[in-house]
Amino acid sequence: DTGVSQDPRHKITKRGQNVTFRCDPISEHNRLYWYRQTLGQGPEFLTYFQNEAQLEKSRLLSDRFSAERPKGSFSTLEIQRTEQGDSAMYLCASSVWTGVSYNEQFFGPGTRLTVL
């Protein structure tokens, strides 16, 4: 296992279209996080899962955004009716219970979305 993978790495779409991104976490990592990063800013938290349960969603996650992790393994993030303001890097991260705590998050390379 080589780390968190994300697909696609780049996506260009037209305003109003729907897009879906996939994240494959590190095997046996039961926590999975989604972040969004715009140019020059640090990543912003969107949502996270513990196994298949979505435990927290940011106010940034409007009704047009939905995330799933159906079997507690990979996750998908869908954006409906994309807007130009959705253009950003979408990052996925995963972490594992060490027996004491969840410590470091391992990030994927991100999916860069451009909405024209």
Partner 1 sequence: DAKTTQPNSMESNEEEPVHLPCNHSTISGTDYIHWYRQLPSQGPEYVIHGLTSNVNNRMASLAIAEDRKSSTLILHRATLRDAAVYYCILRDGGYNKLIFGAGTRLAVHP
Q: Which candidate, 79, 113, 65, 109, places its Cα nearest to that of 91?
A: 109
CB 22 within 8 Å of CB 76: yes
* Minimum CB distance to partner 1, residue 6 (Å): 8
What 3-state class would DSSP assign to 42?
A: coil
> In sequence order, which residues have a C-beta less than 8 Å from that of residue 115 and are 6 or more positions away?
13, 14, 15, 82, 83, 84, 85, 86, 87
Where does this chain touch partner 1 (CB under 8 A) — which range of 10-18, 38-46, 60-68, 77-85?
A: 38-46
Smaller CB distance to partner 1: residue 18 or 56? 56
74-113 footprint of partner 1 as x/- string (CB under 8 A): -----------------x-x-x-----xxxxxxxxxx---
Q: Which of 44, 76, 80, 96 binds partner 1 (CB under 8 A)?
A: 44
Residues that bind partner 1 in the complex, under the rule CB under 8 A: 4, 33, 35, 40-45, 48, 55-56, 58, 91, 93, 95, 101-110
